[in-house]
């Protein structure tokens, strides 16, 4: 076997891990840091106090909504103004991606459009990012361990990635206790993003034994944890809730590790352009596409590549997702399990997320050329792609 595996330089995982973050930043020799947060700036107050107590001056930079190229520009200016030696992100995937982009731009100069894929010049970063510390407060994107940041370009209605090995975080602090206040619909949508980010790499053409091991473990843990979280919330201090929080955070980290090293597939091939067109939450879009894409891939593989190794993966997925022995399930059971989970978690269809039937054609055209589509185990026809969107409506 031959593979490469890249991730954050260090991952600190566990309840209370966030309390190590300030000491780790101070240990880098940093005296001033930009703290990128989501809307809920006050949630970062304890971290901010810890940093100050460790001699690190903090400039807070809140990002509302999914980050745009303008957020990256303003953040890089804030780094320069504060003479910050590090960027810390505390928040959901949007804050983490914004922080990662800001740390890259601050060290390299220029404009996001110089480096952005698809809509930009796609120039490679020449310099390592400023030291970047990611502290996720949701369990979804896994961005704390990946080398790309998704930025919206609102005037073009698209999202595109800044991508470089230089952008891997210096430290990922994954503290499951931070998930406690998440509202139900965020648990559902971010959790199904995480699940799709372990399922797609598991059937990807670029899967390797290390990503397989991570994906198997996460696919097994995620569905029961998501159901329990949706039922009872994540605020409890009982052992069961502590375990559910850990399983959700673990799935998210595994998703980041798997997608960064084995690629994704058609779910993300659709979710990226749909996010740019609709402005809907990434996780809810992934959730709506997941079962229809699995079904289309299974059908296409059986019809056109009956010896394809991904077919055995779809069978194994059914066992992992249902907890039943391999001999007692078929690949269809895995797809039914995902559809069932999305129903239980009250995931809205694409129509309710704002997609008009007239936009199916343009969406398919964009999805076909999305970078994630290259990881899909089989090339889907236009007819199959259209059917996926119709079933996800
Ligand atoms: Zn995703």
Interval between CA 376 and ligand 1 midpoint (Å): 14
Instruction: Tell whether the model's pLDDT for residue 156 goes beyond 90.
Output: no
d(CA 335, CA 339): 6
Confidence of residue 374 (pLDDT cuts 50, 70, 90): very high
Interval between CA 283 and ligand 1 midpoint (Å): 6
Share of the chain above pLDDT 70, in %: 100
pLDDT at 258: 98
Instruction: Tell whether the model's pLDDT for residue 117 goes beyond 90.
Output: no
**Residue 315 burial by CB count (10 A; 0-12/13-18/19+): exposed, middle or buried?**
middle
| Token digits of residue 151 | 């930025």
Nearest to 295 by CA among 324, 243, 330: 330
Indicate the pTM of the whole model. Answer: 0.95
pLDDT at 265: 98
Instruction: Tell whether the model's pLDDT for residue 65 goes beyond 90.
Output: no
Interval between CA 66 and ligand 1 midpoint (Å): 13
pLDDT at 325: 98
Interval between CA 41 and ligand 1 midpoint (Å): 24
Interval between CA 193 and ligand 1 midpoint (Å): 5
Interval between CA 131 and ligand 1 midpoint (Å): 24
Compute the mean pLDDT over every residue in the chain, rounded to the nearest whole number: 96
Interval between CA 370 and ligand 1 midpoint (Å): 13
Interval between CA 23 and ligand 1 midpoint (Å): 31
pLDDT at 61: 98
> Average of pLDDT values for 227-244?
97
Nearest to 330 by CA among 290, 286, 291, 298: 298
Q: Judge contact between 293 and 270, C-beta under 8 A.
A: yes
Confidence of residue 302 (pLDDT cuts 50, 70, 90): very high
pLDDT at 250: 98
How, if at all, do strands 158-163 and 148-153 pair?
antiparallel
Interval between CA 252 and ligand 1 midpoint (Å): 10
Residue 73 phi, psi (nearest 5): -60, -50
Interval between CA 106 and ligand 1 midpoint (Å): 26
Interval between CA 57 and ligand 1 midpoint (Å): 33
Interval between CA 32 and ligand 1 midpoint (Å): 32
Strands (E) in the chain, as ranges, are 11-13, 32-37, 57-62, 86-91, 132-136, 148-153, 158-163, 171-174
| Residue 159: strand pairing partners | 152
d(CA 124, CA 164): 7
**Residue 242 burial by CB count (10 A; 0-12/13-18/19+): exposed, middle or buried?**
middle
Interval between CA 285 and ligand 1 midpoint (Å): 9
How far, in Å, are 26, 43, 133, 142, 325 from residue 95 at the CA level?
21, 13, 11, 12, 40
Q: Judge contact between 285 and 275, C-beta under 8 A.
A: yes
Share of the chain above pLDDT 90, in %: 91
Instruction: Tell whether the model's pLDDT for residue 279 goes beyond 90.
Output: no
Interval between CA 183 and ligand 1 midpoint (Å): 19
d(CA 125, CA 167): 9
Interval between CA 132 and ligand 1 midpoint (Å): 21
pLDDT at 296: 98
| Token digits of residue 385 | 């792609």
pLDDT at 266: 98
Q: Which residue has the tokens 């809920």?
A: 40
Interval between CA 115 and ligand 1 midpoint (Å): 21
Instruction: Tell whether the model's pLDDT for residue 352 goes beyond 90.
Output: yes
Weakest mean pLDDT among 77-86, 113-122, 211-220, 378-387: 113-122
Interval between CA 58 and ligand 1 midpoint (Å): 30
Instruction: Tell whether the model's pLDDT for residue 176 goes beyond 90.
Output: yes
CA distance between the termini of the chain = 41
Confidence of residue 160 (pLDDT cuts 50, 70, 90): confident
Confidence of residue 157 (pLDDT cuts 50, 70, 90): confident
10-40 pLDDT, tens digit per residue, is 999 999 999 999 999 999 999 999 999 999 8
Interval between CA 26 and ligand 1 midpoint (Å): 32
d(CA 368, CA 377): 14
Interval between CA 372 and ligand 1 midpoint (Å): 10
pLDDT at 389: 98
> Average of pLDDT values for 174-185?
97
Confidence of residue 321 (pLDDT cuts 50, 70, 90): very high
Instruction: Tell whether the model's pLDDT for residue 187 goes beyond 90.
Output: yes
Interval between CA 141 and ligand 1 midpoint (Å): 5
pLDDT at 253: 98
> Average of pLDDT values for 103-123?
94
Interval between CA 323 and ligand 1 midpoint (Å): 24
């Amino acid at each position: 076997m031959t593979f490469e595996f890249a991730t954050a330089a260090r991952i600190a995982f566990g309840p209370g891990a966030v309390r190590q973050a300030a000491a780790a930043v101070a240990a880098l020799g940093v005296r001033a840091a930009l703290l990128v947060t989501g809307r809920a700036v006050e949630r970062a107050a304890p971290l901010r106090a810890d940093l100050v107590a460790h001699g690190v001056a903090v400039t807070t930079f809140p990002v509302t909504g999914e980050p745009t190229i303008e957020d990256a520009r303003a953040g890089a200016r804030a780094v320069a103004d504060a003479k910050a030696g590090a960027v810390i992100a505390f928040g959901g995937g949007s804050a983490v991606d914004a922080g990662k982009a800001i740390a890259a731009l601050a060290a390299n100069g220029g404009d996001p459009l110089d480096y952005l894929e698809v809509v930009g010049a796609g120039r490679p970063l020449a310099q390592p990012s400023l030291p970047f510390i990611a502290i996720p407060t949701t369990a979804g994107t896994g961005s704390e361990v990946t080398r790309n940041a998704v930025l919206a370009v609102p005037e073009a209605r698209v999202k595109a990635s800044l991508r470089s090995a230089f952008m891997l975080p210096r430290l990922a602090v994954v503290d499951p206790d931070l998930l406690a206040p998440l509202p139900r619909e965020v648990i559902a949508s971010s959790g199904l993003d995480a699940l799709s980010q372990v399922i797609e790499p598991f059937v990807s053409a670029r899967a390797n034994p290390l990503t397989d091991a991570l994906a198997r473990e996460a696919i097994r843990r995620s569905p029961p944890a998501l159901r329990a979280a949706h039922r009872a919330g994540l605020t409890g201090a009982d052992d069961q809730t502590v375990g559910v929080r850990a399983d959700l955070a673990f799935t998210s980290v595994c998703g980041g590790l798997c997608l960064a090293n084995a690629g994704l597939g058609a779910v993300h091939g659709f979710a990226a352009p749909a996010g740019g067109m609709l402005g809907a939450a990434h996780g809810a879009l992934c959730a709506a596409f997941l079962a229809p894409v699995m079904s289309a891939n299974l059908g296409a593989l059986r019809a056109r590549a009956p010896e394809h190794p991904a077919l055995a993966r779809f069978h194994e997925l059914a066992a992992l997702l249902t907890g039943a022995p391999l001999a007692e399930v078929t690949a269809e059971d895995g797809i039914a399990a995902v559809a069932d989970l999305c129903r239980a978690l009250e995931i809205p269809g694409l129509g309710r997320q704002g997609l008009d039937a007239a936009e199916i054609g343009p969406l398919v055209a964009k999805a076909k050329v999305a970078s994630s589509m290259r990881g899909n185990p089989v090339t889907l026809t236009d007819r199959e792609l259209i059917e996926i969107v119709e079933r996800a409506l």
